[in-house]
Amino acid sequence: MHANWKTWAHVTKLDPDKHLPPGTIEEIVTSGTDALMLSGTLNVTRENLHELLDLVSSYGLPLVVEPASPDCAIFDGAVDHLFVPSVMNTNDVRWIVGKHYAWLRHAESVDWEMVVPEAYIVLNPNSAVGRVTGADCNLSAGDVAAFVEVADRYFRFPIVYIEYSGTYGDPSIVQAASDAAEHATLYYGGGIRSAEQAAEMGRIADTIVVGNAVYDEGIDVLRATVRAVQ
């Protein structure tokens, strides 16, 4: 039975390339967050992904892997879902469909029940994900709304993910995305470092994702972001 990701209000993103002090994992999984997403852009390997998975898998919290590359698309028994991103606002087709083709061309088997496609709209040009994917981040609210509509109504992505990656986004842009999304679940990630920011984006998006704050601000801030949306 796979976890029902549509009901999550708060997801904590952990990066296989970053390290947490001993004991922190236990504090994260007991913070009240609905799920853990194992995800990063740079230096993510099958090895460090499995190392992180080994640390978190025994706590019973829903686990999502967001593969940075085809070799990180793992179907480990501990993982509930594979959230597979396609970047809407890039001209580099590899990040829309190319990596996905490469993955399926060489995959031995795929548990499609686990796979959830995500339409990513990347809006921080200085982020690693923005640079790596060549995303055009200079978008108006109308541009973002149109991308959301393409993802939601045309391609029927179940998740649309507004990704500001490390910087706090523009609530009016996220609101435009929310207004345009009819069926898709709207995820917001980027720069949430306080209860106030969590509450603000949590009112607009269905699900907020908190990542860097875990490493930079600590567990008390993470707990505050959970309380703000639940």
Residues contacting residue 111 through CB under 8 Å, at least 6 positions apart: 75
Instruction: Please tell me whether 32 is known to bind a ligand.
Output: no
Return the ∠ at Cα 229 (arms to 224 and 230), rounded to 5°: 95
Residue 1: C-alpha distances to residues 45, 81, 114, 166 (Å): 27, 11, 10, 33
d(CA 99, CA 16): 20
d(CA 134, CA 127): 10
Instruction: Please tell me whether 13 is known to bind a ligand.
Output: yes
Instruction: Please tell me whether 43 is known to bind a ligand.
Output: no
Instruction: Please tell me whether 41 is known to bind a ligand.
Output: yes
d(CA 208, CA 117): 17
Instruction: Please tell me whether 130 is known to bind a ligand.
Output: no
Instruction: Please tell me whether 18 is known to bind a ligand.
Output: no
Judge whether 48 and 16 are in contact, CB under 8 Å: yes
Instruction: Please tell me whether 170 is known to bind a ligand.
Output: no
Residue 58 burial (CB count, 10 A): 10
Instruction: Please tell me whether 6 is known to bind a ligand.
Output: no
- The residues facing 64 across adjacent strands are 37, 81
Instruction: Please tell me whether 164 is known to bind a ligand.
Output: yes
Binding residues for Mg(2+): 15, 41
Q: Please report, in range form, the residues annotated as the binding site.
A: 13, 15, 41, 161-166, 191, 211-212
Residue numbers in the known binding site for sn-glycerol 1-phosphate are 13, 161-166, 191, 211-212
